[in-house]
Amino acid sequence: MNLIKLFICLIIISFSATVSAEFYKYIDENGNICFTDDFNKVPQDQRSNIKGYEESESDSNINEGKTGTVEEEKTQADGEKLESLEELHSRLNNTRSQLIQEDETINKEREQIIKDRQNAKTTDDVININERAKKLNQRQENLKKKNEAFESERKKYRVRVTEEESKQKEVK
């Protein structure tokens, strides 16, 4: 019975393909964080320090419907159920979307602060704008930590996918 479940899981995994895309992160002249998939769009002076990222997405997430697969039940040494690859992939995609949305919100607020700073007329206006900028910088720092945690989880996911693919090849 367990052999059948394993065989079904391996068949399902073998039909799911992985799509990956590389993109780059840089800071523009206004201090905004920008992402692009075209290396030529990165300013010349920042190309030597550029960070490249790889995003991946499996076919199962591209297709909208669920396939009705048998869920993997893996357990850790302490008995907790591990998140299936499909669940982990979905959670990572949701987290990535939230991080991008938060980054866009911060960038819009930064642009508004710059405009408000140019139009400030009183000392109280400047103090208020500076307080907003400090809070925004703290949010930016928190977002950076969240991005680092996300990248760590994404790397763990890729390791698990690679392990599953190698197990699949061993069975064949």
Strand order in the sheet with 18-27: 33-36, 18-27, 51-58
Place of tokens 């190309």: 47
What pTM does this model have? Answer: 0.50
In sequence order, what are the beta bridge partners of 75? 81
pLDDT, residue 60, reads 41
pLDDT, residue 14, reads 60
Hey, where are the domains in the chain?
A: 14-61+81-171
The rounded radius of gyration (Å) of the Cα atoms in the chain is 22
pLDDT, residue 20, reads 52
pLDDT, residue 89, reads 87
pLDDT, residue 4, reads 76
Q: Which residues contact 20 (CB under 8 A, 6 or more apart)?
A: 54, 55, 56, 57
Contact assessment for residue 146 and residue 99, using Cβ atoms and an 8 Å cutoff: yes
Element (H, E) at 101: helix 85-119
Contact assessment for residue 24 and residue 53, using Cβ atoms and an 8 Å cutoff: yes
Instruction: Per-residue pLDDT tens, the chain, 172 aa: give them.
Output: 676 776 676 666 665 545 555 677 777 777 777 777 777 777 777 777 666 665 555 444 434 343 333 333 344 433 344 668 888 888 899 999 999 999 999 999 999 999 999 998 999 999 999 999 999 999 999 999 999 999 999 998 899 888 888 888 887 6
pLDDT, residue 32, reads 72
